[in-house]
Amino acid sequence: MNVVSTERLIAPHGGALVDRTGERPDGLESLEAVTLTPREVSDLDMIAVGALSPLEGFMGREDYERVIEDMHLASGLPWSLPVCLAVDSAPAGDVAALVDEAGRALGTIEVEDTFSYDKEREAELCFRTTEDAHPGVARLYAQKPLYVSGRVTVFERPEPAFPELANDPADTRRIFAGRGWKRVVGFQTRNPIHRAHEYLTKVALETVDGLLVHPLVGETKSDDVPADVRVDCYQTLLDGYYPTERVLLSAFPAAMRYAGPREAVWHAICRKNYGCSHFIVGRDHAGVGDYYGTYDAQLIFDEFAPHELDVEPMFFEHTFWCNVCGSMASTKSCPHGPEDRVFLSGTKVREMLGEGEVPPVEFTRPQVAQVLIDAYRSN
Ligand SMILES: [Zn+2]
């Protein structure tokens, strides 16, 4: 096998890719079991494969405090969201088993500390609201009352929802290096890609070597378009409209937190671990409802010193087709008015698709519209 050097790629966050996968230990049955929620399972797996490098386990008190207060780990490295494991009580032994809700053992944690936390404080600092109508806050309020911290070892990985799209950070890095890429832009999405996002990914791609389309396929709100339909849309779009040798479609296994600005930073750091030197941040990235200002997810990057994150955010405006320009554009590049733009609200698009109507080609590629129409019909 050819070993490809990944040295030309951006270094992982903290310098080295963490690997906390390991062997199933003897005597597992005698350990106290801690049950993880689906979000915690996704965090655990991401820690194991280095997607959350430099984290080697669930955060301890010092990291937690510093992260929620000023978006840095105790070591001083930028980090924007808690990655914690909630429990009802401190596990009895030095090591506990980590199991999913079905009771399947996934790994172990070397118990370091168990500490209490203030849910409203975490909500206010991380989500900028204490309202439980916010899905991330609601999930936080429903959590168990203590956090247990410690290094983890994972011997059983969750079944990937899309095996053909399951690439760990070491895999994407190998693929990028194998294609000779150095500068790679990551694109996060949890929606079908219409012309607007197609345009900005291509504008970004014009300036770098490769594009990682990295849709989030972990847990999302129930009203987001189902992941299998979205994956169909992505594949259809990429097959028809992107140069395959410059794009990699791969699944991002994180669960959505809906933490808006802080999640945008967190998403950028994770993509750096996957080998991305650049990361696209649109308006209202990872937002929900109207909890965050339009540009908050872009402005938050200014709270870090230049180059502190290393991964370079690429900020984009909303983009649209302009009839006068005769091309895709944004308010940054087009002087014409709203009457010249092809704009459809999310509600309008859903309505059209639900009725089997194909939206204008300036808004979405007809092949993508067809995938969505078929999905609505089969429901
Ligand atoms: Zn124009």
**Strand (E) or helix (H) holding 260:** helix 260-273
The per-residue pLDDT of the chain, averaged, comes to 94
What pLDDT, in 10s, does the model give residues 324-338?
999 999 999 999 999
* pLDDT (0 to 100) of residue 222: 64
pLDDT level of residue 1 (50, 70, 90 thresholds): very low
* 363 CA from centroid of ligand 1 (Å): 15
Q: What's the whole-model pTM score?
A: 0.95
Q: Is the pLDDT of residue 219 over 70?
A: no
* pLDDT (0 to 100) of residue 6: 78
| Mean pLDDT within 64-86 | 98
* 321 CA from centroid of ligand 1 (Å): 8
Contact present, 72 and 48 (Cβ < 8 Å): no
What pLDDT, in 10s, does the model give residues 345-376?
888 898 999 999 999 999 999 999 999 999 98
Here the tokens at position 13 are 């966050």
Q: Is the pLDDT of residue 195 over 50?
A: yes
Looking at the chain, the whole-number percentage of residues with pLDDT higher than 90 is 86
Active site residue 190: yes
* 82 CA from centroid of ligand 1 (Å): 43
The Cα–Cα gap between 9 and 58 comes to 27
The Cα-based distances of 160 to 42, 105, 203, 214, 251 in angstroms read 10, 16, 31, 14, 9
Alpha helices in 83-159 (DSSP H): 119-122, 135-141
* pLDDT (0 to 100) of residue 287: 81
- SS3 annotation, 1-17: CCCCCCCCCCCCCCCCC
Q: Is the pLDDT of residue 3 over 90?
A: no
What pLDDT, in 10s, does the model give residues 29-52?
999 999 999 999 999 999 999 999
| Mean pLDDT within 42-68 | 98
| Mean pLDDT within 106-128 | 98
pLDDT level of residue 217 (50, 70, 90 thresholds): confident
What pLDDT, in 10s, does the model give residues 273-305?
999 999 999 887 878 888 999 899 999 999 999
Here the tokens at position 307 are 């180059």
Phi, psi of 57 (to 5 degrees): -170, -170
The Cα-based distances of 192 to 228, 230, 235, 276, 378 in angstroms read 11, 5, 10, 22, 17
The Cα–Cα gap between 361 and 242 comes to 17
| Mean pLDDT within 52-56 | 98
Here the tokens at position 339 are 């009457």
Number of neighbours of residue 141 by Cβ within 10 angstroms: 14
Looking at the chain, the whole-number percentage of residues with pLDDT higher than 70 is 98
The Cα–Cα gap between 136 and 155 comes to 29
From 8, 179, 190, 246, active-site residue: 190
* 334 CA from centroid of ligand 1 (Å): 4
From 128, 183, 191, 246, active-site residue: 191
Contact present, 240 and 195 (Cβ < 8 Å): no
pLDDT level of residue 23 (50, 70, 90 thresholds): very high
Considering only residues 217 and 139, tell me which one the structure prediction assigns the higher pLDDT.
139
What pLDDT, in 10s, does the model give residues 118-135?
999 999 999 999 999 999
* 302 CA from centroid of ligand 1 (Å): 30
Buried/exposed 76-102: b ≥16 CB within 10 Å, e otherwise: ebbbbbbbbbbbeeebeeebbbbbbee
The Cα–Cα gap between 67 and 217 comes to 25
* pLDDT (0 to 100) of residue 288: 84
* 286 CA from centroid of ligand 1 (Å): 28
Phi, psi of 110 (to 5 degrees): -85, 100
Q: Is the pLDDT of residue 218 over 80?
A: no
Phi, psi of 244 (to 5 degrees): -60, -30
| Mean pLDDT within 148-171 | 95
| Mean pLDDT within 219-235 | 84
Number of neighbours of residue 69 by Cβ within 10 angstroms: 10
pLDDT level of residue 202 (50, 70, 90 thresholds): very high
What single-letter amino acid sits at 99? V
**Strand (E) or helix (H) holding 185:** strand 184-189
* 361 CA from centroid of ligand 1 (Å): 17
Active site residue 121: no
Locus of tokens 């859903």: 350
Q: What is the DSSP letter of 76?
A: S
